[in-house]
Amino acid sequence: MQIGVPAESMAGETRVAVTPETAKKLTAQGHTVRVQSGAGVAASVTDAAYQAAGAEITDADGAFAADIVLKVRSPSDAEAARMKPGTVVIGMLNPFDAPGLQRLASAGLTSFALEAAPRTTRAQSMDVLSSQANIAGYKAVMIAADRYQRFFPMLMTAAGTVKAARVVILGVGVAGLQAIATAKRLGAVIEASDVRPSVKEQIESLGAKFIEVSYDTDEEKEAAVGVGGYAKPMPPSWLARQQVEVAKRVALADIVISTALIPGRAAPTLISEDMVKSMKAGSVIVDIAAGKGPDGIGGNCPLSEADKTVIKHGVTLVGETNLAALVAADASALYARNVLDFLKLVITKEGTLKIDLEDDIVAACRMTQDGQVTRT
Ligand code: NAD
């Protein structure tokens, strides 16, 4: 089959959906891989590296004219219009973006959003949320360390002792766990909060402390279990108790990394303005949920601003919304492997397209087909 790899057009998107490693595997399977010239440059991949892997370098028209188009982000209006009806598009298409899906359906595209894959063992190798959140958690700590005007580790020097940084992590999914691991490697003292008590063991195994909040009613206990591994909105009674515990830690913290999300809903508000005011001057908040809060600008903290770094009440708030794109080479390498694994589900050994809706991953990821939005 012809597989096209256009350059990403969204501002700040540096990743690419195919790397020389995956291009080599696809060409070895007999497919033609057409990469738009320059598509990998921001991810440190040259056209020559793709050619050495057996891919053809083409212009945008050549990449969009393929049977299967591999993307990082959902195609824009202009990009959707460049593809012929029936083209298969695979990428991070945002299953919650109804107008975006309608655009793909209207263009007659058959599309698969990899974020919609179930969080099962079989789907793990194509789990783009995990591969990219892992990078986001790492980069959030790197940015915090860069912005923070003190050390992370405790140091005993001839000029005196420096205290270890205190880090609070809010939301301990994939990004939060990696943030804990990264801050730990730098020598910080870490406490973490999540609505799901099942993460306590994971937090402790990484050398951090779980911020305990009791579950007092059946409603609270039931909500804390979540669904499919994801959090459900917690009752206000529990959130109020959590806020008291978190506020105490945030007031003492040097760094807060917040990652709390609930799929398909606004990110919960966990760091109020008063909590920011209680922090020491020079503290840093990296809000991975920026842009996903109730107003679409803030995140877990209403003072953060999507894609901006601002200083409020003496605290630096980093609202970078695409942290994975700041580690473009490795983010692309992992994403491209996720994509390659998904392709195995929709391309037969004989090299033809087969959309098997009996396969739970294929069915969950399919967003549009035959002019219809088919998202389940
Ligand atoms: P996510 O990005 O949806 O959310 C981040 C974290 O925020 C979650 O841990 C969530 O519980 C937490 N959160 C939500 N509301 C909160 C609040 N008010 N206060 C504090 N924390 C709050 O999560 P994710 O990283 O995508 O991970 C989701 C789940 O999927 C996890 O259970 C993870 O272990 C699981 N997972 C499973 C597999 C697999 O089995 N294949 C792979 C990856 C992840």
Alpha helices in the chain (DSSP H): 20-28, 47-52, 60-64, 77-82, 98-106, 128-147, 174-185, 200-205, 218-225, 236-252, 273-278, 328-346, 360-365
Which residue, judged by its Cα, is nearest atom 29 of ligand 1? Answer: 229
pLDDT cut 70: percent of the chain above it: 100
Whole-number Å distance between alpha carbons of 243 and 193: 10
Q: What are the φ/ψ torsions at residue 155 (nearest 5 degrees)?
A: -130, 135
**116: CA distance to ligand 1 center in Å?**
14
9 band by pLDDT with thresholds 50, 70 and 90: very high
Q: Which residues pair with 258 in a beta bridge?
A: 170, 287
**Cβ(234) to ligand 1 under 6 A?**
yes
Q: How high is the pLDDT of residue 67?
A: 97
Does any ligand 1 atom lie closer than 6 A to the CB of residue 267?
Answer: no
Q: By C-alpha distance, which of 376, 353, 367 is closest to 107?
A: 367
Decide: 194 in ligand 1 pocket, CB within 6 A. Answer: yes
User: Which residue carries 């050495």 as its tokens?
Assistant: 52
Show which residues are catalytic. 119, 124, 127, 130, 230
Ligand 1 center–CA 133 separation, angstroms: 10
3-state class (DSSP) for residue 185: helix
Query: Is the shortest distance between the CB of 96 and ligand 1 below 6 Å?
Result: no
Give me the pLDDT at residue 224, please.
Answer: 86
- Atom 2 in ligand 1: residue holding the nearest Cα: 261
SS (H, E, C) 346-360: HECCCCCECCCCCCH
**CA-to-CA distance for 87 and 110, rounded, in angstroms?**
6
Residue to mutate (ligand 1; options 215, 230, 360; most atoms within 8 A of CB): 230
How far is it, in rounded angstroms, from Cα 189 to Cα 183?
Answer: 8
Say what the alpha-carbon torsion angle 211, 312, 142, 197 is, to the nearest 10 degrees: 20
Question: What's the pLDDT at 266?
Answer: 94
Query: What residues contact residue 204 under an 8 Å CB cut-off, 6+ apart?
Result: 210
Residue 343 binned pLDDT confidence (cut-offs 50, 70, 90): very high
Q: Which ipTM value was assigned to this complex? A: 0.94
pLDDT digits (tens, 9 = 90+) for 132-145: 999 999 999 999 99
Q: Is 173 in the pocket of ligand 1 (CB under 6 A)?
A: yes
**Whether pTM exceeds 0.90:** yes
Residue 264's pLDDT is 85
The protein residue whose alpha carbon is closest to atom 28 in ligand 1 is: 230
The CA-atom distances, in angstroms, between 96 and each of 241, 265, 276, 284 are 30, 9, 31, 30
Radius of gyration of the chain, Cα coordinates, nearest whole angstrom: 22
143's tokens: 């940015």
- Which of 174, 205, 239, 269 gets mutated to test ligand 1 (max ligand atoms within 8 A of its CB)? 174
What's the CA gap between 260 and 334, in Å, rounded? Answer: 23
Atom of ligand 1 nearest to the CA of 231: 11
- Please, which residues bridge with residue 89 across strands? 69, 111
Residue 370: the pLDDT is 96
pLDDT for position 233: 87
193-244: pLDDT as tens digits:
999 998 999 999 999 999 999 999 999 988 888 887 788 888 999 999 999 9
* Confidence class for position 263, pLDDT limits 50, 70, 90: confident
- Pairing relation of β-strands 315-318 and 309-312? antiparallel
Alpha-carbon distance 85 to 254, whole Å?
A: 53
Alpha-carbon distance 98 to 373, whole Å? Answer: 9
Q: How far, in Å, CA of 237 to CA of 125, rounded?
A: 38
CA-nearest residue for atom 1, ligand 1, is 261
- Residue burial 41-62, b: 16+ Cβ < 10 Å; e: rest: ebbebebebbeebbbebbebeb
